[in-house]
Structure 1
């Protein structure tokens, strides 16, 4: 039975559930969104969410065009992308650890920075590329146009990820008033930065071939 976005209702439901479960697994996006939203507020968090969504969409389109498969088959390209992502996460953790306690107030004027970081974090994430190459195709129905289905499933995945990420921003953003105290803000920021550094280590280990 034909459903939303040109995929069957059964495919839509099963892929949407899979996408939500994948995005609920702790990872770089979740940790960094908590760090940004708790320390700098919801506007900064939502700007990061927008960047993440665009990054996931771009990777999905590149996967549909075969670029992600090329990255997966080339050890040099894969390792370069993997280590660039790991180093970028460490950079974000280092900056979060060392940022002063006055970062809450000027965040509104730096939303472009958060958008860019959300975008770059996902463009440098080889696991996103592998998802589009190894997982998404298993939901493609053989009797229908492959490219159209791939783009539709990409849209579903990006939508599911955005919903999860927006929820994280809303929850973490509620802590911002509590963290207006410089001491509490510093402690929370450093705890989350340490967690992000730990995620970077996990990311390096989990993406190794």
Structure 2
């Protein structure tokens, strides 16, 4: 039994899908990782992103996200840390050689934590939980139950979309086994990630 009307749940699920289909830092980085290093690294990144979204949802429920939203200093610090981290990932992708990719024994941990950190440093994720999610909470019904279910729903939708991106981008990895093609595609995606980082800096400015 849902703690709110089914129509509300479906509306929130659809809104979450539209938000996640909008190109952003996570989507671009997933494409870079999956096309260059394969689906295993891509799905590890997806798992990290999912955990990051869940943690931010829990933090938002405790009111910390509202504090970040209200404090210009905290918001700007988080925003620029996210921008710099994305630029670092773009630079690393641009300068990485094919030998680094092929010799990486188990990239799971590295990509998991990068996906996790990328989301923690994304103020837009916190704003979603503060500004969007509460609008779907029904007054007079259990607040905590609604918040938890909506958070789980959003993480599930985001993970499904991210998994689809990994599956699609991962199909290119065999084609990119050629060192020259791999280098060109990696640099193209790294350049795109750098542009996304600059767009992120502009779009999140107050």
1:72-116 deviations in whole A, cap 9, x for unaligned? 000100000000000000000000000001244334512100000
Of 198, 201, 204, the residue aligned with 1:204 is: 201
Q: Secondary structure at the match of 1:109?
A: coil
CA distance in 2, matches of 1:21, 1:54: 20
In the superposition, the TM-score normalised over structure 2's length comes to: 0.98
Of 49, 52, 55, the residue aligned with 1:52 is: 49
RMSD of aligned alpha carbons: 1.0
1:30 matched to 2:31? The reply is no
1:40 match: 37
Of 146, 158, 165, the residue aligned with 1:168 is: 165
1:140 match: 137
CA distance in 1, matches of 2:56, 2:198: 23
Query: For structure 1, which runs of at least 5 residues remain unmatched after alignment?
Result: none
CA distance in 2, matches of 1:179, 1:62: 40
Query: For structure 2, which runs of at least 5 residues remain unmatched after alignment?
Result: none
Q: Secondary structure at the match of 2:107?
A: helix
CA distance in 1, matches of 2:199, 2:186: 20
Contact 1:43 1:108 (8 Å CA) reproduced? no
CA distance in 2, matches of 1:56, 1:108: 27
1:97 matched to 2:104? The reply is no
1:124 matched to 2:121? The reply is yes
1:19 match: 16
Decide which moves more: 50-59 or 102-111. Answer: 102-111
CA distance in 1, matches of 2:102, 2:145: 44
1:11-47 deviations in whole A, cap 9, x for unaligned? 1110000001000000000000000000000000000
Runs of 4+ residues over 2 Å off in structure 1 = 102-108
In the superposition, the TM-score normalised over structure 1's length comes to: 0.96
Q: Secondary structure at the match of 2:188?
A: helix
Contact 1:39 1:103 (8 Å CA) reproduced? no
1:157 match: 154
CA distance in 2, matches of 1:106, 1:47: 17
